[in-house]
Amino acid sequence: MKMRKNIVAGNWKMNLTPAEGVALINEIATFNPAISGNNQVVFCAPFTHLSEVNKAVASWGNAKVLVGAQNCYYQPSGAYTGEISLDMLMACGVSAVIIGHSERRLYFAESNELLRLKVDAILAKQLMPIFCCGEPLEIRNANTQNEYVAAQLQESIFHLNAAEIIKVVIAYEPIWAIGTGVTASTQQAQDMHAFIRSLLADKYGADVANEITILYGGSCNAANAKELFSQADVDGGLIGGAALKAESFVAIINAMNG
């Protein structure tokens, strides 16, 4: 039986106005989805939305529902035009931060070394990093996805000690399945999640590895969430498009209950 956290995190990306985001959260709340026990939900909104989203989440009155950011900078302050510090995010009520999303790596050239600095900064503020990893299509076609993902983990988070790594949520996102409508098969998802957990076990021991939440982040939707979440090493999802509609997101949340 899984004792680690199950998490459904909605990544809104660059979508919705603040008012639309608040309306979405309020609509989701009317469905009264089951969020209790080891289950958590995180709304990862654009920077401009966070204060209003935090108010909407607070009015929900469920401590298992959190506010997340989609990115951060690792420096505490300074001449970094356009960047957002963790103190700024915390002032908006943020509890979690996505880092290393494939879109940040691809479009903004974020490196494993930069993500190492970001994860250290996030943990220093006692926030929850949602660390994304995953391979592009050419790597999957070459059947070298395990080596590719292992390098991402080793270069960005495996410098952490056991007490630190246990606070990190890992999100596996097969890049070839994001926004394409193509989803990794349930077996492909489970195989990679099991591989990631085996790397954690080799580095930190089985007890630590079994406490770390690993999310699936490749076109997870209302139709496939239940099957994906039933896998031994899949502990929820990092949801893109399906997080923008109340009914589909609620179905995904409820899929955490089996």
* Residues annotated catalytic, as ranges: 101, 173
Q: Give which of 192, 193, 215 is closest to 139, Cα–Cα.
A: 192
Burial 75-113 (b: 16+ CB within 10 A, else e): eeeeeeeeebbbebbeebbbbbbbbbbbbbbeeeebebe
Residues 195, 177: Cα–Cα separation, whole Å: 19
Q: Give which of 21, 23, 15, 33 is closest to 225, Cα–Cα.
A: 33
Residues 128, 98: Cα–Cα separation, whole Å: 9
- Compute the residue count for the chain: 258
Give the count of beta carbons closer than 10 Å to the beta carbon of residue 162.
Answer: 14
Strand stretches in 51-207, DSSP E: 65-69, 96-99, 128-133, 169-172
Positive or negative, the CA dihedral 130, 88, 91, 116 is: positive
Give the count of beta carbons closer than 10 Å to the beta carbon of residue 200.
Answer: 25
Structure tokens at 29: 């709340």
